[in-house]
């Protein structure tokens, strides 16, 4: 006799559980919103990459591994982040294509028992066309989508997906009281991520040159690692040159709020992670993105009068210019960040309220 599947009001899918601060933040903020709206722990489950540390971040909640289908739900939500993408080109496979077409027909013929939403989701890029088709078929029967940026929205328009909305990142729902933050000095945060891409061979060398410049000129800074599982190359490089760094450690009690408090102490953030820019903005910190992928260029453009993007070929003179401009005009850049945040926060509130009204 088959074991009865456990049923939930809401199941949220995401890249949670991989030790990455940005994805874990999306999970925590979604959970906090749902609890405020009257849902209980028994109503909610996260469909993610299960790891024991998740229980430290959200105690007494249901976690279902990403490959586990032994559940049912009223509402299935793709909960933010860039969950669908491909950076590597693969040879076209007729076998894979047939498998994909079969999946498409099954998905369309099979009656849908629950509602499906995408909330604050980012898409792409897609170097692999099979991965792009697979992503398209995932959203064929989605009830409503709120996409994080215009590029993601463009993908769905190209795929002729219905019920599209321009949304924003889920973490834009956060409103911190930054008036109580005390900065003892002007300190630069340097958020680093590993990036194994042949087109970015100068990335590591250029950032090391920047670090050496900051040391030589006695400019106070601290590297920051968002994932000790995904950013091992940077951790080794920093250890090799004898530079200490701040690291996200989700196993520590109250780690989420403590880590954000540490981030708030910086005056300028240089980041090669998307959520590095998101949290900088929430903490009213001007930022410079390192343009290793399109979304980092897009968010710098969104905050264009409060930030810059350091683009390939990562010229040292260029980023020094950006650093100096922000320091010399810090109050103006901060003011722009605050004003843009107000719009993003309003968008996030509307996006979440609209989705909650449509839940089954």
- pLDDT (tens digit, 9 = 90+) per residue, 229-253? 999 999 999 999 999 999 999 998 8
CB atoms within 10 A of CB 150: 12
355 within 8 A of 146, measured Cβ to Cβ:
yes
- Specify the pLDDT at position 177: 86
Whether 146 shows a pLDDT value over 70: the answer reads: yes
* Mean pLDDT of all residues in 179-189: 87
Domains 6-167 and 178-340 share a fold: yes
If you ran DSSP here, which 8-state letter would residue 4 be given?
Answer: P
CATH no. of 6-167? 3.40.50
Q: Which of 229, 223, 233, 234 is nearest to 269 (CA)?
A: 223
31-45, 170-184, 248-262: least confidently modelled range: 170-184
φ, ψ of residue 70 in degrees (nearest 5): -85, 55
Domain extents in the chain: 6-167, 178-340
Whether 193 shows a pLDDT value over 60: the answer reads: yes
CB atoms within 10 A of CB 2: 5
Domain 178-340 fold: Rossmann fold (3.40.50)
Read off the pLDDT band of 355 (50, 70, 90): very high
């Amino acid at each position: 006799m088959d074991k009865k599947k456990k049923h939930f009001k809401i199941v949220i899918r995401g890249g949670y559980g991989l030790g990455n601060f940005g994805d874990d933040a999306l999970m925590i903020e979604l959970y906090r919103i749902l609890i405020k709206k009257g849902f209980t722990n028994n109503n909610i489950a996260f469909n993610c990459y299960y790891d024991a540390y998740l229980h430290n971040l959200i105690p007494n909640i249901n976690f279902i591994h990403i490959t586990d289908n032994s559940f049912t739900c009223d509402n299935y939500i793709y909960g933010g982040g860039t969950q669908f993408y491909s950076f590597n080109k693969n040879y076209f496979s007729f076998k894979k294509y047939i498998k994909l077409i079969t999946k498409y027909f099954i998905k369309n013929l099979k009656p849908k028992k629950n509602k499906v939403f995408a909330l604050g989701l980012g898409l792409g890029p897609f170097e692999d066309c099979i991965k792009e088709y697979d992503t398209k078929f995932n959203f064929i029967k989605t009830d409503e989508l709120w996409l994080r940026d215009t590029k993601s929205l463009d993908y769905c328009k190209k795929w002729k997906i219905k019920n599209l909305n321009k949304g924003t990142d889920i973490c834009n729902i956060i409103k911190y009281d930054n008036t109580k933050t005390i900065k003892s000095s002007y300190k630069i945060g340097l958020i680093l991520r590993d990036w194994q891409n042949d087109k970015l061979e100068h990335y590591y060398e250029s950032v090391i040159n920047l670090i050496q410049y900051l040391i030589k000129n006695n400019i106070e800074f601290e590297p920051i690692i968002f994932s000790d599982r995904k950013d091992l190359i940077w951790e080794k490089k920093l250890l090799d040159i004898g530079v200490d760094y701040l690291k996200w450690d989700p196993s520590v009690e109250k780690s989420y709020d403590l880590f954000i408090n540490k981030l708030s102490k910086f005056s300028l953030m240089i980041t090669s992670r998307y959520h590095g820019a998101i949290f900088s903005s929430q903490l009213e910190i001007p930022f410079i993105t390192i343009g290793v992928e399109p979304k980092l260029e897009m968010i710098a453009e969104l905050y264009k009068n409060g930030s810059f993007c350091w683009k390939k070929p990562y010229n040292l003179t260029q980023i020094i210019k950006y650093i100096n401009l922000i320091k010399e005009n810090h109050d103006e850049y901060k003011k722009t960040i605050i004003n843009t945040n107000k719009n993003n926060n309003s968008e996030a509130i509307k996006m979440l309220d609209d989705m909650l009204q449509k839940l089954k």
